[in-house]
Amino acid sequence: MKIFHVPCLEDNYTYLIIDESTGDAAVVDPVEPEKVIASAEKHLAKIKFVLTTHHHWDHAGGNEKIKQLVPGIKVYGGSLDKVKGCTDAVDNGDKLSLGQDVNILALHTPCHTKGHISYYVTGKEEETPAVFTGDTLFVAGCGKFFEGTAEQMHQSLCVTLASLPKPTQIYCGHEYTVKNLEFALSVEPNNEKIQQKLSWARQQRQADLPTIPSTLEEELETNPFMRVDKPEIQEKLGCKSPIDTLREIRNKKDQWRG
């Protein structure tokens, strides 16, 4: 399988997933459909369906338009989210296939929105899996708790997503990496992995290059929201449990101006 990112709006990412055997493609969160359709045409791919991570307009806002532009296209979205233009609702554990070799597993990762879905995508045996995490997991960050609780975000990040294979590539919904790593460094000033990744991310952005994909392994080493089980972080924040720590880090991030 091949994955291409398509920058949209100010800092959003839409993704094109292509099954190489057939040229069939799926698109994740096509907020500006013309851009991802152009990318598909460039790669000689046929768009078969849309995977919507959640209902916010900067992710689902292009669904009606892409249905006009690609007649007969299916639009998948979480059953608990009121996703614009959704033709087929998905729940945790639902499976989809794309072309000959690509399989997609829907994972319910609520908190940012009630029905947020992350899509875990596998190709041929030797290919590295990927997960499209929308606004649940960012590189070195997580989404605001608009429709959920710290308990839910802990389950989504530290149980559901953290249980995927370590090499899994993380493709998130926004380019927020530099700011996220600057904040992460304020939580763990001596974490060398964060220092290194921040320096790399700044170089990427100065060159107008993306910081995606990350990997699950890197997130477990650098993302404060996925490190809330670490005693030194709990202690620093004066918290007794991973969930309290997650809540406290989110509160701090919401107020943080960097």
Question: What string of DSSP letters covers 176-239?
Answer: -HHHHHHHHHHH-TT-HHHHHHHHHHHHHHHTT-----EEHHHHHHH-GGG-TT-HHHHHHTT-
88 in active site = no
Q: Could you tell me if residue 191 is left (phi over 0), alpha (psi between -120 and 50 degrees) or otherwise beta?
A: beta
**All residues at 6 or more sequence positions from 69 whose CB lies less than 8 Å from its CB, including other chains:** 33, 34, 37
Catalytic residue among 55, 116, 154, 174: 174
The partner residues of 95 in beta bridges, in order of sequence, read: 105
5 in active site = no
Total length of the chain: 258
208 in active site = no
Catalytic residue among 81, 116, 135, 154: 135
58 in active site = yes
43 in active site = no
Catalytic residue among 58, 81, 108, 116: 58
Catalytic residue among 29, 54, 55, 108: 54
116 in active site = no
Catalytic residue among 24, 29, 55, 59: 59
Residues serving a catalytic function are 54, 56, 58-59, 112, 135, 174
